[in-house]
Structure 1
C-alpha cells in the first residue's frame, strides 16, 4: 500500500492520515506487539514480589532464591522486548516523516506559478519541517503511548484478582485524570496552532534575509532586520510561554493524581493488614502497580499536548495538499515534436492580484520565425512566453501551438519543447556542468560545451578554478549577472527546443559579449520559432518581425524599419537606455535613423 493522505476533507485530520500509517503497519504493529508483551512481563514483577514476600519472607513456605531469579529473568526479558519495540518504533517514525516530506514536495512541484505568487517560501519551509515533525511524533508515538497506557487496564485486572476492594481504592483517582485530560486538550489546541503559525513567520524572515543578504548589506539595514526577527521571535516566545503556562497548570495535576492513589493504598491497605484482610506483600505489590501507573499517565499528558500540536500542524499541511493546481493535465495528452507555429486568439490574462497583463491579444507566429516583442515595462511581453509553456493558463481566449490548444499537450513534453530563458535566471548550488545539463542530466560533455559556446559562456567558464566542475554559490551568486544569463541560455539551448523564448536574456551582458552570443544565436535560431523580449536595439536586430505591445495588446506589427515611422514605437525605443548599442547589429543607416528619431521624440 503506497503512502498517501486521504483526500476526503470531511474527515478528521487523524482519519485522513491513517493511510499513511497503514503503509507502515508491519513495523508499527511489530513495535506495538513487542511493547505490549514487554508490559505484560512488567506487570508480573510486582506479583512475583508479592508472592516472594508473603511466601518466602512471612510464611517461609518457599525458597527466596526462586523469586529472586524469577524477578531477574522478568527484568531481562522486559529489557530485550523494550529494545526491539523502541527500534521498530523509531524506524516507523522516520519512515512516516520521510513519506510526509515526499508527499508535500511532490505536491509542491505540481503546483503552478500562481501558487508561489501567493505563498512565502519560508512558510512552505516551516510546514515541511516543524509541522511534519509534529505530525510524525504523534502518528508514530501516539499508538505506543496508548499501549503503554493500556498497562493500567492490565494492572487493574491483576489488582482485582488479588484484592477487589483495594483495587477500587487504587484506581479512584482515574476518572478525574480523564476529565482533566479533556480540559487540557481544549486549552492547548489554539495555542499550538498559534505556535506553528508564528514559527512559520520566523522561518520566512530568516529565508528572506538569507536570500536577500546583499540587499540588506547594501542599505545597511542589518539592525532593522535583526529587530524584525526579534519581534517575530518575541511573538513565538509569548506563544510558547502561554503553552508552558497551560501545561504547568494541568500536567503536574495529571502526574500527581496517581500518587494520591498510592497514599490511599497505604491508608486503606494498612487498615486491612491490621484487620487481617490482606497481606504485606499485597500492599507492596499494589504500591508497585500504582507507581507503574505514573509513567503512562505522565505520557498521557504529553500525548494530549502532542495531539493538539499535531492537529494544528496537520491542518497547515493539508492546506498545501488540498490546494488543487489550476494547470490540469489533459486526459489523453499529446506528446509530439512541435513544428513551432504559435497563435494567440483573443487571449486575456490577469494575475492573482488582479493585474491585467493581456487583453484580447491576437498574434500568429510562423514556424521558424523570430519575433521581437517590444514595449514598456508591464505591457505583457513576458506573459506570452509563460502562457506558451503553461506556467499559467489564459483566463480568456486560446493559446495554440501547431494548431492545437496548449492544454491538449502533456505538460512535461510541452515544457521540454518550449525553452524559456528568464531575465533573472536561477542557478542551483551545483557545478557549472550540472546547471547547464539540468534539463538533460545524461547529456554528453561535448554537447554541454557546445551549448556553452553558443551562449558565449565557454570562455569565462574556462577561466574558473575547475572550469565546468566549478561549484557556483547559492542561486549562482558567485557569478556575475551576465555570466548567470549565459549559463541559463546554454541550459535552454542544450534542450534544443523547437520554440525558444528569450525574456530579455542578455540584459546583463556587455555589448561585446552580446555580439558574440547573437552571432551564435543567428545560426541556432534557423528553423526554430523564437520570441525575443527585447530592450536593446541590438537584440531587436535578431528578429524577422517586431511587435509593439501596449496594455496587453499588439498595437503594431512589422519589421524594425517599417515600425520606425510609428511614433509609439519610437517613443518606446527612446525610453530604452541604449546609448552604447544603437549601432550594434542594426545597419548603419537604420541606427542613424533611430538615433535621430529618439532625439526628435525626446
Structure 2
C-alpha cells in the first residue's frame, strides 16, 4: 500500500507536465499521440479524469497503508510488552529486589511506546523516502542524465550527514532513556510511599527532588533536540543546491531546445518532490535514535537469564507436604552466607515454627522452601524430591503462602481471596474467610464480599489485610501452608481465633510458621531456633523453656519475666 501510494503521489507531477505539453504543442502533444485525440480541450479532459482516478487511488492507498502500518506497530508493541513482562515476572525475586521498580516499569511502558512510534512513523517514512528517490530518479534518468546527476548530488551529502549525526545523537538519546528511567523510578517510589511522605511533611522536599529528576530529563532531551534540530537547516541548504541546478540547467536546456517545456515543468516539480521529503530525515533520525535506545533497554531486559528456572518433575497426588533441608547454605548475590549448613525435617501433617532474633535467617529459609532463591549448596526437598527439579504447579501449586508484607490487588474482597483459585465457588470463599476469622468483618460491610479494596489493600487495616491473605492461602487447600509473621498485625482476640483455625487447617496440611511473637507458636510439634543462620535449638515449647537456652531467654523477655 505504501508503494502504491508513492506511485500515485508521483503521477500528478507527470500530469502537470503533460498538461503544459498540451497547451504548448496542441495536437502534437504526448498525450494526444497516446490517446489519438486532437482536441486540446479533450486532451485536458482526459488528463483531468486520469488525475481524479490517481487521487482516489492515492487517498485509498494512504488510508490502507496508515491503518496497516499502525496495526503492525500496535501488534509488535503488544507482543513485545507482553513478552518482556512475562520474562520479568519469571526472573528471580532477588533481581527485582535489587532493581528499582520504576526502572522496570519505564522499560515495559515508556521504552515500548518509543519503539511503537518508530514503527508507526519512522519506518513508513523511510520506505516512502526510498521509493520516492527510486521513482523520481527513474523519471529524471529518462529525461536527462545531466539533470539526474545534479539533482541527486545532495543525496549522498544528506546520507553522510545523517550517519555523522547518528553517531553524535546515539549517546545523547541513551542519556535521555536513563534520565526517564530515573524519573519514572522516583515517581513510582514516591507514590508507593505517599503515607510516609505525608507523615513527615516532606511534600515540598519530595516535589523539589522530583523536579530535579525532571530537570535532568528535560536537559537531556534539550541537548539531543538541539543536535537533531541542527540537521534540518543543513538538509535545506543541500536541497537548495539541487533545486537551483535543475531550475537553471534545465531552463537553459529548454531555451536551447534540448528539453521539452512540459518535461522541464515535470523536472522542476520532481526536484522538489525528490529532495523536500529528505527534510523529514531529521525527524526519522530522531525517532530512530529514541527507538534504538529503547530497544537496547528492552533487549537487555529480555537477555537477563532466569536464575531460578522451573524444573520438569511432578509430584504424585495427593501431595503429602513433607519438607526436608539437608546441609543448606544460602546467601544473596555475592554476599556472605546467611544460612550455614541447615538440616531440618518437617514431617507431613505437622506444624513447625521457626523463631529467632532479627537477621537470624528465618525469611531466607522460607524463600528456599518456596524456591524464590536456590541454595548455594545442599538440598531442599518436598515429598523427597529436590524442589529444583519440580515444575511450578507441583511446587508452588501445593503451597499456601502468607507473606510478611501483605499485597492485595485492586479489586473486590472476593477477588483477592479467590486469587489463588479463580474457579472457587462463593461458598468456598466464605468458608476460607471463616477459617481466617475475617467473615464477620466482611459481613458487616455494605457490599460484603463485593467490597472494593484499593491497590495494596490501602482501604483496610493491617490486620484485615493479613486475614484476607490468610483466607487466600487457605482457599487453595494447600499441602504446605507457609506463614511469615501471619498474625503480627492482629489483636489478641483475633489471633486466638486464627490460631484455632490454623490448628484445624494443620490437621490436613503441613504448616511452617515464622514468628517473632512466641505466643503465636506455643503449640507446634516442633520449634526451630535460628541464630546467625544456624539452628541452635529445636524442640517443643515446654522442652525449650526447660533447657533455659536462647528460646527460654526470648520467652522470658516477651512475657515480662526478664528485661532484654
- Classify the TM-score, shorter chain: over 0.9
1:54 to 21, 27, 31: 21
- The 8 Å contact of residues 436 and 490 in structure 1, kept in 2 or not, is answered as yes
- The 8 Å contact of residues 335 and 410 in structure 1, kept in 2 or not, is answered as no
Residue number in structure 1 paired with 2:127: 147
1-structure distance, mates of 2:145, 2:45: 29
- The 8 Å contact of residues 335 and 409 in structure 1, kept in 2 or not, is answered as no
Return closer, same or farther for 1:57/1:335 CA change in 2, 3 Å cut-off.
Answer: farther
Return closer, same or farther for 1:355/1:464 CA change in 2, 3 Å cut-off.
Answer: farther
- The 8 Å contact of residues 425 and 484 in structure 1, kept in 2 or not, is answered as yes
**What is the CA-CA distance between 1:59 and the residue it aligns to?**
4.0
Report whether the alignment pairs 1:323 with 2:290.
Answer: no
Q: Secondary structure at the residue paired with 2:523? A: coil
Residue number in structure 1 paired with 2:540: 559
Return closer, same or farther for 1:450/1:255 CA change in 2, 3 Å cut-off.
Answer: farther
1-structure distance, mates of 2:294, 2:341: 44
Residue number in structure 2 paired with 1:35: 2
2:46 to 63, 66, 79: 66
Residue number in structure 1 paired with 2:477: 496
**What is the CA-CA distance between 1:355 and the residue it aligns to?**
5.4
- The 8 Å contact of residues 181 and 254 in structure 1, kept in 2 or not, is answered as no
2-structure distance, mates of 1:47, 1:405: 76
**What is the CA-CA distance between 1:73 and the residue it aligns to?**
2.4
Correspondences of 1:452-463 after superposition (within 5 Å): 452-463=433-444
Q: Secondary structure at the residue paired with 2:329? A: strand
Residue number in structure 1 paired with 2:330: 349
1:108 to 88, 91, 107: 88
- The 8 Å contact of residues 229 and 282 in structure 2, kept in 1 or not, is answered as no
2-structure distance, mates of 1:560, 1:236: 58
Alpha-carbon RMSD across the aligned residues, in angstroms, is: 1.7
Q: Secondary structure at the residue paired with 1:66? A: helix
Residue number in structure 1 paired with 2:12: 45
Which digits, 9 at most, give the CA deviation of each residue in 1:36-74, with x for residues without a partner? 012112222212211210223454643322222222322
- The 8 Å contact of residues 431 and 469 in structure 1, kept in 2 or not, is answered as yes
Report whether the alignment pairs 1:129 with 2:109.
Answer: yes
2-structure distance, mates of 1:142, 1:154: 20
Residue number in structure 2 paired with 1:26: none
Return closer, same or farther for 1:242/1:512 CA change in 2, 3 Å cut-off.
Answer: same
- The 8 Å contact of residues 262 and 290 in structure 1, kept in 2 or not, is answered as yes
Return closer, same or farther for 1:58/1:259 CA change in 2, 3 Å cut-off.
Answer: farther
Residue number in structure 1 paired with 2:74: 94
2-structure distance, mates of 1:298, 1:263: 17
Return closer, same or farther for 1:481/1:353 CA change in 2, 3 Å cut-off.
Answer: farther
**Structure 2 residues not aligned, in runs of 5+:** 29-39
**What is the CA-CA distance between 1:103 and the residue it aligns to?**
0.5
Residue number in structure 1 paired with 2:36: none
Which digits, 9 at most, give the CA deviation of each residue in 1:184-228, with x for residues without a partner? 111111111110111011001110111110011011111111111
**Structure 1 residues not aligned, in runs of 5+:** 1-33, 577-581, 583-594
**What is the CA-CA distance between 1:385 and the residue it aligns to?**
1.8
- The 8 Å contact of residues 312 and 390 in structure 2, kept in 1 or not, is answered as no
Which digits, 9 at most, give the CA deviation of each residue in 1:290-320, with x for residues without a partner? 2212453123332222222222111111111
Q: Normalized against structure 2, the TM-score is what?
A: 0.94
Q: Secondary structure at the residue paired with 1:374? A: strand
**What is the CA-CA distance between 1:142 and the residue it aligns to?**
4.2
Return closer, same or farther for 1:189/1:169 CA change in 2, 3 Å cut-off.
Answer: same
2-structure distance, mates of 1:168, 1:367: 86
Residue number in structure 2 paired with 1:536: 517
**What is the CA-CA distance between 1:544 and the residue it aligns to?**
1.9
Residue number in structure 1 paired with 2:491: 510
2-structure distance, mates of 1:201, 1:443: 41
Report whether the alignment pairs 1:471 with 2:438.
Answer: no
2-structure distance, mates of 1:129, 1:287: 46
**What is the CA-CA distance between 1:140 and the residue it aligns to?**
4.8
1-structure distance, mates of 2:349, 2:56: 79
Which digits, 9 at most, give the CA deviation of each residue in 1:66-111, with x for residues without a partner? 2222223222221111111111111111101100111111111211
- The 8 Å contact of residues 340 and 529 in structure 1, kept in 2 or not, is answered as yes
**What is the CA-CA distance between 1:115 and the residue it aligns to?**
1.1
1:177 to 150, 158, 166: 158
Residue number in structure 1 paired with 2:35: none
Report whether the alignment pairs 1:284 with 2:265.
Answer: yes
- The 8 Å contact of residues 314 and 394 in structure 2, kept in 1 or not, is answered as no
1-structure distance, mates of 2:173, 2:84: 21
Q: Secondary structure at the residue paired with 2:96? A: helix
Residue number in structure 2 paired with 1:27: none
Q: Secondary structure at the residue paired with 2:420? A: coil
Return closer, same or farther for 1:105/1:270 CA change in 2, 3 Å cut-off.
Answer: same
Residue number in structure 2 paired with 1:419: 400
Mean Cα displacement is larger for which, 212-221 or 132-141? 132-141
Residue number in structure 2 paired with 1:572: 554
- The 8 Å contact of residues 388 and 418 in structure 1, kept in 2 or not, is answered as no
Residue number in structure 1 paired with 2:139: 158
1-structure distance, mates of 2:50, 2:9: 12
- The 8 Å contact of residues 312 and 391 in structure 2, kept in 1 or not, is answered as no
Count, aligned residues: 549
Report whether the alignment pairs 1:365 with 2:346.
Answer: yes
Residue number in structure 2 paired with 1:432: 413
**What is the CA-CA distance between 1:167 and the residue it aligns to?**
2.3
- The 8 Å contact of residues 176 and 217 in structure 2, kept in 1 or not, is answered as yes
Report whether the alignment pairs 1:447 with 2:428.
Answer: yes
